Amino acid sequence: MVIICPRCGQPASYIEHRRVGNREYLYAVHEYRDKQKGRVRIKHYLGPADGYEYVSRTHEEDLGELQGLGTGIEDVHARNLVYLEHLLRWFSISGKKETVERALQIIQKWLPKIAERLKELEELERKEEKT
């Protein structure tokens, strides 16, 4: 399985889990050989394994617990869907007229584009299943 680093988009050698106190943090590790330097290891910080507990507390909107970059695109998609659901719920109860109007403009602009793209992806998936 190829691991793509969410920070740089390049393949990572592996994901490192580092425990500090009672928290666990994730790093994408890139290893390669350099003629002059020998073995080179670069680590990209991905965030906490179990979400940003302290940052989440400071958000007025209830986004749930903010998440790190995760270890793959599936995690990113799942995380964004959770955020989207929380945001839509928050806007549905928000009382500020300007905020609600702006949210409605954004939703009306993007919803048809998102629906069209999801249909395209669904069609591609069906075609791949047939082959």
Interval 70-121: pLDDT, tens: 545 456 677 778 878 877 777 777 667 777 788 889 889 999 998 999 899 8
What is the tens place of the pLDDT at every residue in 13-72? Answer: 998 999 988 888 889 999 999 999 999 999 998 877 766 555 445 555 556 666 666 545
CA distances from 12 to 8, 51, 75 (A): 9, 21, 16
Question: What is the phi-psi region of residue 125: left when phi exceeds 0, alpha when psi lies from -120 to 50, beta otherwise?
Answer: alpha
For residues 4 and 11, the answer to whether their CB atoms sit within 8 Å is yes
Q: What is the pTM of this model?
A: 0.47
For residues 66 and 51, the answer to whether their CB atoms sit within 8 Å is yes
